[in-house]
């Protein structure tokens, strides 16, 4: 998908009511973009959806937000008009698969409640997904294939950003945290007698990571409190620490793995660099293309209504 502004457009598509070629609401026309129209009533209803519900914006701030939304709405309509010019379409089966995928990401019944809360029907949602998929097709057609990355680009990026790919020494560790020293010593004794560390973390730890068996993940020196670093970086993998006191309580650590410091070569980070450069090039190609599209399009805004 495109980046930054384009992602914002997709955000609007996903969360605001869709607009057809001819707006169904009886209202004055605020915006015309290459034959597509957006009524004042529709625009205002959509705009109110993005306003903060818990506070009133100052007039100047709200007006600036309104202008920003208008610019995004124009780009959105331009993309859909371009999809029509390119004779792009999305099958009902593809739209249905997208709808099913969205539903699966919500708890049972929550998706339908979300639609009701936003004042949307299933048909509204289907139109929005159809437009989102059309916009993706436009991007694929006019941008993605043109955002090529050469070997020279990769080598130049690596040379300029070599330091950013250096990985310091890191560890993968778990912890158990308790408030009381005597309780900590009792738990430590049970661990030494063979109680699984993850089980003990789930049963006794007061840390938020208890449900994950005390999983702290991978971290380098300086990313955790100093007491953590002192306890784990000199502890061999597979070993349990002594009881360690910090400002958060009493801790027991298990080091699962030591990851040595690395200075990656180009081969190691090649795919990462390609992904970075492709995103950058896609954004540049997209913005240049969109700017040309704006200049060539027929765009009319009734500023007396705005």
Domain boundaries, the chain: 5-148+276-301, 167-259
pLDDT at residue number 120: 76
pLDDT at residue number 111: 86
- Rounded Cα–Cα distance for residues 169 and 260 (Å): 5
Q: What is the pLDDT of residues 254-301, one digit of tens each?
A: 999 999 988 888 998 999 999 999 999 999 999 999 999 999 999 999
Within this chain, domains 5-148+276-301 and 167-259 share the same CATH topology = no
pLDDT at residue number 5: 44
Cα angle 28, 301, 75 (rounded to 5 degrees) comes to 115
Do residues 139 and 131 make contact, with C-beta atoms less than 8 angstroms apart? no
pLDDT at residue number 55: 64
pLDDT at residue number 280: 93
Mean per-residue pLDDT of the chain: 86
pLDDT at residue number 54: 63
Torsion over CA: 127, 5, 83, 145 (sign): negative
pLDDT at residue number 264: 85
Q: Which CATH number fits domain 167-259: 3.40.50.1370, 3.30.43.10, 3.40.50.150, 3.10.50.40?
A: 3.10.50.40
Which residue carries 């007039």 as its tokens? 59
Q: Which CATH number fits domain 5-148+276-301: 1.10.4030.10, 1.20.120.1460, 3.40.50.720, 1.25.40.10?
A: 1.10.4030.10
Question: What is the mean pLDDT, run by run of 10 residues, along the chain of 306 residues?
Answer: 42 43 62 91 80 75 91 92 92 90 84 81 85 90 85 95 90 95 95 94 93 94 92 94 94 95 89 94 92 92 89
Share of the chain above pLDDT 70, in %: 90
């Amino acid at each position: 998908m495109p980046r930054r502004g384009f992602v914002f457009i997709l955000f609007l598509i996903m969360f605001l009511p869709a607009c057809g070629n001819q707006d169904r609401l009886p209202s004055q026309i605020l915006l015309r973009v290459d034959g597509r129209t957006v009524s004042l009533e529709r625009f205002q209803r959509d705009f109110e959806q993005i306003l903060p519900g818990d506070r009133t914006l100052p007039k100047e701030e709200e007006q600036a937000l309104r202008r920003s939304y208008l610019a995004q709405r124009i780009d959105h309509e331009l993309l859909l008009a371009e999809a029509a010019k390119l004779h792009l379409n999305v099958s009902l089966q593809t739209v249905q698969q997208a709808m099913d995928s969205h539903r699966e990401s919500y708890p049972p019944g929550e998706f339908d409640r979300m639609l009701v809360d936003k004042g949307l029907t299933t048909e509204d949602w289907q139109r929005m997904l159809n437009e989102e998929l059309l916009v993706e097709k436009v991007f694929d057609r006019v941008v993605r294939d043109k955002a090529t990355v050469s070997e020279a680009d990769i080598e130049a990026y690596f040379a300029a950003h070599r330091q950013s790919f250096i990985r310091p020494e890191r560890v993968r560790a778990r912890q158990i945290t308790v408030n009381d020293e005597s309780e900590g010593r009792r738990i430590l004794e049970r661990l030494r007698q063979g109680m699984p560390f993850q089980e003990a973390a789930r049963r006794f730890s007061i840390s938020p990571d208890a449900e994950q068996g005390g999983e702290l993940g991978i971290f380098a020196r300086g990313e955790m409190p100093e007491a953590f670093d002192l306890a784990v970086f000199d502890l061999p993998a597979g070993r349990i620490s002594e009881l360690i006191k910090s400002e958060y309580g009493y801790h027991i650590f298990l080091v699962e793995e030591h990851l040595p410091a690395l200075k990656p070569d180009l081969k190691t980070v090649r795919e990462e660099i390609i992904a970075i450069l492709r995103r950058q090039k896609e954004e540049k190609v997209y913005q240049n293309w969109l700017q040309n599209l704006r200049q060539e399009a027929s765009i009319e805004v009734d500023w007396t209504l705005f």
